[in-house]
Amino acid sequence: MHDLIISGGEVHDGFASTPVTADVAITADRVIAVGKDLGAARRTVDAAGLVTAPGFVDPHSHSDSVPFLPDAQPFKLLQGVTTEVVGNCGFSMGPTDPETAGLSPIQLGEQMFTTFADYLNAAEAAGLSNHFAPLVGHNTLRLAVAGLEKQLPPGGLDRLCALTDEAFAAGARGLSSGLEYVPGAYADLAELTTLARIARRYDGAYATHSRSESEGLADALDEAVAVARAAGTRLQVSHCKASGRAVHGAARLILDKLAEARRSGVDVRGDQYPYRAFCTGLSAMLPPEACEGNVDALRARLSDPVTRAAIRATAEGPVTGIGVGLWREVHPEDMQILRHTDPTVRGRRLAEVLAGRDSWDALCELLIADPHAFVVCHTMDEGDVLAIMADPLVAIGSDSDIPIGPNHPRTFGTFPTFLGSYVRGGRVVDLAEAIRKVTSATASQFGLSDRGWIGRGSVADLVVFDPAQIGHAGTYENPELRPTGMVHVFLAGEQVIADGEFTGERRGRMLRSARR
């Protein structure tokens, strides 16, 4: 007798095969069979008229600190996400040095951990609402070794290697970089390749927020491919986009670069969120050199008129190898302030808070007041978004934040938005291909071999949703609206969403690499 049968749904296997109307039999945490007349079960869930699919795998999340929130957080389960890849853009919650942890331009939470293993153990002990597949972040590693200094100290690379090896021995599934952020921006090809080769030893992936997603896009993609080729790692190009008016229409360049790399033997894929705006720290508008040292040094530079003018000249000048920040790609009317210590500017565009000031001066003064401010930047072209979305090498990833305070709607609605607005409404790809993009396409890249598909022996991470109702009505002004259409969700055979409601149980696991 099976423990559970999900009966009569339109079953998608996660590989874009033609769907079949069938039952799915589950015993313990595994799928035992898919078909008809599968025998008796202790419990049956009726999926007639609905889609049964593998649980969605989010390749790009910043939910690292979510387990430490006081209440269970079902915001990803309500979208059908059963596994999140965390530790992206070069930032993980360990390993850290207490003296430099607070310098991180990305705030992951109040808790930071001396070792990567400490983080994994603490998150698991706190309880995960869905599964985590952890990456170790290059920016975090570099902060622990050199703070925000541009140059590594004597023996610094050896220390980076030792910390990276410790993280993979603890169960990291890959190495992430965020090369538009400091201190990752200071790394050269040799440093990145050296660390990626450690990932290779553990069969880990290399996921990168590349050095530029705007005017330096081509060189940045070439660098990402060069690291993966030299290290022999799988490559995940994070949140593929052509950002800024100067590169609208560059989707073809991105897709050609991915295809060319794959033809040359690099196992490369990308991910994308289905929105035209990105979200990041306000300090990312500045050239990396402006952030060198610490927060006090940043404030001092921006407070000095001569230095402020010199930083502006760099930010508005030719793109260099190390990058010039995001300022040149974001117009003041496109920059929406999401989080700031001054409540009067939250939710407003930079162009709306100038108060007679030059836009650069307004930006600098906002950063002096709050170096950890966050912004939403409306910089992408819909034609590029659609072209990237349709490509078979690109999966869907949320780039989501923790579900507290002002937020981007991608945190609460990425996957329903894709399946509703773009698949059902826009028909950018058919449903079978769309499900592949949110399941097996990501699972395989991060070594999750028994997840992201439905078949005998697969882990019973499953979703049942209504394809006519799935969607998200959230906006940039009101992002927290609950998505619609997700009926049932199962983690390893245990139901965590029942008839659209969270059961309240933290059933997630930390999916450490088996190669550790």
Instruction: Give the pLDDT confidence of 310-344 residue by residue, as tens digits.
Output: 999 999 998 877 788 999 999 999 999 999 999 99
Q: How far apart are CA 207 and CA 199, in angstroms?
A: 11
What residue ranges do the domains of the chain occupy?
A: 4-53+477-502, 56-280+379-446, 281-377
pLDDT of residue 318: 87
Q: How far apart are CA 58 and CA 83, in angstroms?
A: 6
* DSSP assignments along 414-466, one per residue: HHHHIIIIIIIIS-SS-HHHHHHHTTHHHHGGGT-TTSSS-STTSB--EEEE-
pLDDT of residue 110: 65
Q: What is the mean pLDDT of residues 385-397?
A: 98
- Residue 516: is its pLDDT beyond 70? no
pLDDT of residue 66: 96
- Name residue 369's amino acid: A
CATH superfamily of 56-280+379-446: Metal-dependent hydrolases (3.20.20.140)
Q: What is the mean pLDDT of residues 277-290?
A: 93
Q: Assign 393 to helix, strand or coil.
A: coil
Q: Which CA distances in Å does 276 have to 6, 33, 157, 243, 370?
A: 37, 41, 38, 9, 26
pLDDT band (50, 70, 90) for residue 105: low
Instruction: Give the pLDDT confidence of 261-276 residue by residue, as tens digits.
Output: 999 999 999 999 999 9
- Provide the mean pLDDT of the chain: 95
Q: What is the mean pLDDT of residues 207-234?
A: 97
Least confident segment among 231-240, 289-298, 383-392, 412-421:
289-298
pLDDT of residue 98: 82
* Token pair belonging to 101: 């942890």
Q: How far apart are CA 490 and CA 387, in angstroms?
A: 32
Instruction: Give the pLDDT confidence of 39-63 residue by residue, as tens digits.
Output: 999 999 999 999 999 999 999 999 9
Q: What is the mean pLDDT of residues 173-190?
A: 96
pLDDT over 70 for what percent of the chain? 98
pLDDT of residue 292: 87
pLDDT band (50, 70, 90) for residue 117: very high
pLDDT of residue 340: 96
pLDDT of residue 108: 60
Q: Assign 310 to helix, strand or coil.
A: helix
Q: How far apart are CA 227 and CA 223, in angstroms?
A: 6
- Residue 109: is its pLDDT beyond 70? no
* Token pair belonging to 39: 């025998």
What pairing do the DSSP bridges indicate for beta strands 4-11 and 51-54?
parallel
pLDDT of residue 106: 61
* Token pair belonging to 128: 């995960």
Least confident segment among 20-24, 169-173, 283-287, 418-422:
283-287
Q: What is the mean pLDDT of residues 53-76?
A: 97
Asked if the domains at 4-53+477-502 and 56-280+379-446 fall in one CATH topology, the answer is no
pLDDT band (50, 70, 90) for residue 246: very high
CATH superfamily of 4-53+477-502: Urease, subunit C, domain 1 (2.30.40.10)
pLDDT of residue 78: 98
- Residue 250: is its pLDDT beyond 80? yes
- Residue 103: is its pLDDT beyond 90? no
pLDDT of residue 426: 86
